[in-house]
Structure 1
Amino acid sequence: MKPLSEYSKMKLISFTFCLIITKIQSACVPAFHDLVCENLSDVRNGKSESLVTLTIGNTKKSPIETLSAGTFKKYTNLEELTIISSVNKLEVDAFRNLSKLLVLKLYKNSIAVLPDFAFIVLPQLTKLDLQDNNIQQISTYGPFIYNTIKTVNLSFNKLRDLNWQCFASPGLERLIITNNKIQEIGIEGVLSKDLITLNLDSNEINHLEDDVFQDSQKLEELILSRNRFSTLWTKFKLKSLKKLDFSHNKITTIHESVFDGLPQVEQIYLNDNLLKKLPPQFAKIHLHTVHLHNNRLENLEMIYLNPSFEYELTFSRNPLPCSCLDNWIVFMELRRITTTDCHREFYGNGNNPTCIVIDAEWDSGKCSHSRTEDVDEYVYKFLDMNNNTDADC
């Protein structure tokens, strides 16, 4: 066999080297300025200073890798980084060199601890998404101690309270912590003064102190649905609040002072509770949207209907007298009040499965009837029989 020339040897070495590199990087798929990789090792072996978006993750495996310092030292221009089902531990300097990063998403990992100052090396970061991890506790001084982060999402973790000063970080506007085990929000000073949205859906909160939102006077949206409230007595005193959601609790009573400090509120969601009546202050609020379906209301006279605005009202599956319900539907049409598509079908064609047959009188938006123990018994039987009358809208 004729020996290989020096040139042929070099070509063979280059070809072999290319095969090795291709095999190493085979789990990464480039597309313009984006790169998708299966493992952290693929990222460490690659290099692309022009990359803007990088996604790492294989949802078919369990997170077992440690995100260590230097992992992204060759990707200094990244603006968005997503890591899915890969990491079970963060090192303090894991994100060093990513000074241009704007968005960081760590989905479906097994991270239990957020190290102090873990994100302080990201001076441009505006959105931090830590959904679906095992985070149980966050230290007081980390990780959101600087004012570039606007949005933090910690949904589907194992947090039990909000007593950490890190959530008071200036600049934090949206805090989303749904589907955790939060039982209480700490005293005043634990929430940012710049907070606009606070979403605590699906937790275990059963009460709120009066001053808990005292420092959050920019708050516009407060969501506390699917918690464990049975009575509302908190004096919110939130002059900027526009949306209040206490749906899917077990609220039987709302104290009169609850709505006194909410002059700007436009949307109230109280559906799927156990309310028998609304407080008088409810009639003073200029609302645009009110959801009251799936309660135990027997009249709706405490609702203020502002004819100057488009107005949405739901009230299906309440034990309203049939004559009152029929008149309310006509009243809504005259006032151009709408309801959701989901509920509209229960009011159509004269078929109103949410009403009870008792003597009642209608007077221009008000309905009254005499109360007897027989009626009470009938109402509760009705509610039990119609527990699944209509779908959740």
Structure 2
Amino acid sequence: MKEYVLLLFLALCSAKPFSRPSYMTLKNMMLEDMEDSDDDDDDDDDDNTLFPTRTPANPFFPFDMLPTCPFGCQCYSRVVHCSDLGLTSVPSNIPLDTRMVDLQNNKIKEIKENDFKGLTSLYGLILNNNKLTKIHPKAFLTTKKLRRLYLSHNQLSEIPLNLPKSLAELRIHDNKVKKIHKNTFKGMDALHVLEMSANPLDNNGIETGAFEGMTVFHIRIAEAKLTSIPKELPSTLLELHLDYNKISNVEQEDFKRYKDLQRLGLGNNRITDIENGSLSSLPRIREIHLENNKLKKIPSGLQELKYLQIIFLHSNSITKVGVNDFCPAVPKMKKSLYSAISLFNNPVKYWEVQPATFRCILSRMSVQLGNFRK
């Protein structure tokens, strides 16, 4: 027994005194744990990052090492939610690794130069429904990964300068934009969706070269003051929506550059005439909206559109429907059958329409006729 007690005493005497880990040691340990956590997330798809079930490897993190979140906001998974808080400015302590910031439904009037400084990982920014009148030209200088920018329902008088070249979607609906200057979108090859409806924009407000060099697939300029189809829109367009404007005529030159266009929205305008050959220059078109206009006849060239499936012509002044207005004489020329043809609320004597008129439809339910009210 004496030998065991002697050995224990010697072991205690040779042990080094306890020392608290240094700040840098804790920092390195935390970084290692974060890296290990990222690796675990990659390997385990069932891991819940909001409510982790695993105990952290080191529970002694100093408070200043924990992620910060602006007062009143909610932060998780690199997303910062600060909507509906009555904010008058952008919070100053947004974590630098944030991927998305939601600031909609506030009272922010101005975006300053350094409001988003350092947010190099920012992917989406939502500023809808504020009181924005000014955005600093250098506000997006460091947000070089920004893909989605939502500025709708504000009071901006122009499209912000120096937008990130990485943008894929820009929505500036319901503002006070009256002019699109030349080179506004210069170098923005990744911009695929441009929504700028409900702005007081007319044809003279679109400068020559405003859309030069862009690869846009979707443009919507509805509820504006356009009196004709805008010229020199990007030739890459797949969808063009110009509903609720003051367009009165469609000319043959209007669509010649849009060979890939698939959806065209011209509803709720004042169109009285569509020049022969205007629509036949859209070989890939699948959907056309011409409802609520002043057309007196079926537009020519529809039978030449091989892929056209939906055509809305209701609420016009069409009085007659010919047997070859929709379908080609040679059945094999039609690649896609019609799924919707709307002709209701027109003064058409539908009982005089020949049954063969709709020989290239999917079913009888595809055609809407009658219900005309004076």
Query: Is the pair's TM-score, using the shorter chain for normalization, greater than 0.5?
Result: yes
- Is 1:316 aligned with 2:316? no
Contact residue 251 and residue 274 of structure 2 kept, 8 A:
no
Name the structure 2 match of 1:81.
125
The offset of 1:48, in angstroms, is 0.5
Contact residue 248 and residue 269 of structure 2 kept, 8 A:
yes
The offset of 1:240, in angstroms, is 0.8
Larger radius of gyration: 2
Contact residue 157 and residue 178 of structure 2 kept, 8 A:
yes
Name the structure 1 match of 2:217.
173
> Quick one: which of 151, 167, 182 aligns to 1:106?
151
Contact residue 230 and residue 253 of structure 1 kept, 8 A:
no
Name the structure 2 match of 1:264.
307
Give the 5 Å matches for 1:160-199: 160-161=202-203, 164-187=208-231, 190-199=232-241
Residue-by-residue CA offset, 1:13-49 (whole Å, 9 max, x unaligned):
xxxxx9xxx9x94243323321123436342x21312
The alignment partner of 1:275 has SS state of coil
Name the structure 2 match of 1:291.
342
Contact residue 305 and residue 311 of structure 1 kept, 8 A:
no
The alignment partner of 1:281 has SS state of coil
Q: Distance in 2 between matches of 1:163 and 1:265?
A: 32
> Quick one: which of 270, 273, 292 aligns to 2:316?
273
Structure 1 segments unaligned to the other structure (5+ residues) = 1-17, 319-382, 385-393
Contact residue 232 and residue 254 of structure 1 kept, 8 A:
no
The offset of 1:81, in angstroms, is 0.3
The alignment partner of 2:254 has SS state of coil
The offset of 1:258, in angstroms, is 3.7
Task: Report the AA paired with residue 106 of structure 1.
Answer: L
Q: Structure 1 residues 42, 243: CA separation in 2 closer, same or farther (over 3 Å shift)? A: closer
Q: Distance in 1 between matches of 2:358 and 2:298?
A: 17
Residue-by-residue CA offset, 1:258-292 (whole Å, 9 max, x unaligned):
43653321211001111111354323264232011
Name the structure 1 match of 2:360.
306
Question: Identity of counterpart residues, as a percentage?
Answer: 21
Task: Report the AA paired with residue 315 of structure 2.
Answer: D
Name the structure 1 match of 2:110.
66
Contact residue 341 and residue 366 of structure 2 kept, 8 A:
yes
Task: Report the AA paired with residue 95 of structure 1.
Answer: F
- Is 1:157 aligned with 2:202? no
The alignment partner of 1:253 has SS state of coil
Name the structure 2 match of 1:211.
253
Q: Structure 1 residues 266, 163: CA separation in 2 closer, same or farther (over 3 Å shift)? A: farther
Q: Structure 1 residues 145, 124: CA separation in 2 closer, same or farther (over 3 Å shift)? A: closer
> Quick one: which of 29, 43, 66 aligns to 2:74?
29
The alignment partner of 2:178 has SS state of coil
Task: Report the AA paired with residue 265 of structure 1.
Answer: L
Structure 2 segments unaligned to the other structure (5+ residues) = 1-63, 329-333
